[in-house]
Amino acid sequence: MLEKAGAEVLAERERIAARVRDELVAAGLPVVASGLDPALSQGVEVNVDPFDDDAGGVSVGWRSSPRLESCVVRAVKLNLLDDPAFEHQRVVLEAMLAAITAILVSAGFTVRDSLNDYAPFTLEVPAGPGGSPSWGLREEELTVPGQPAGADGASAVGSES
């Protein structure tokens, strides 16, 4: 039986997952909201695996539009292996994962292809950056002209995770 990861490991995974979501939204990508009906969801999907095993951690995938996914499911059900939706879906997934990888690596994350054979077309994010993100507010944005920096108790804002 699989054991759950410890509280400290889970907290770090949640921190990484939140930072991944933030960075990808900052780049302009839509992120699937937790609990959203799959019939309505599309965009980046970020999951935290609670188990303590080699496949555990933060995984990132791309959910194509419900219409494209519906076409692929239909082709599978009807055994239409030459349906153009299959090839198009593969190209879409590969392109989006390449873009997601480039964005996350630029932001300081460690990203690799998934080791999970049951989750093709996903990425694993075993580590993320600390400090403020590149898109976070800067000290000069919070300084009131004519007052010394920090005089009002303000400090740089952004995810310190």
Q: Where are the domains of the chain?
A: 7-130
Please give the mean pLDDT across all residues of the chain.
Answer: 87
Among 33-42, 48-57, 129-138, the range scoring the smallest mean pLDDT is 48-57
pLDDT at 123 over 90: yes
Q: Considering only CA atoms, give the Rg of the chain.
A: 19
Percent of the chain with pLDDT over 70: 89
Residue 47 phi/psi, 5-degree rounding, is -130, 145
Q: Of 57, 158, 72, whose CA–CA distance to 109 is shortest?
A: 57
Between 3 and 55, where is the model more confident?
A: 3
pLDDT at 13: 92
Once rounded to an integer, what is the mean pLDDT over residues 128-141? 87
CA distance 37 to 131: 34
> What contacts 142, CB < 8 A, 6 or more positions away?
154, 155, 156, 157
Once rounded to an integer, what is the mean pLDDT over residues 86-90? 94
Between 129 and 152, where is the model more confident?
A: 129
Between 3 and 27, where is the model more confident?
A: 27
CA distance 119 to 107: 24
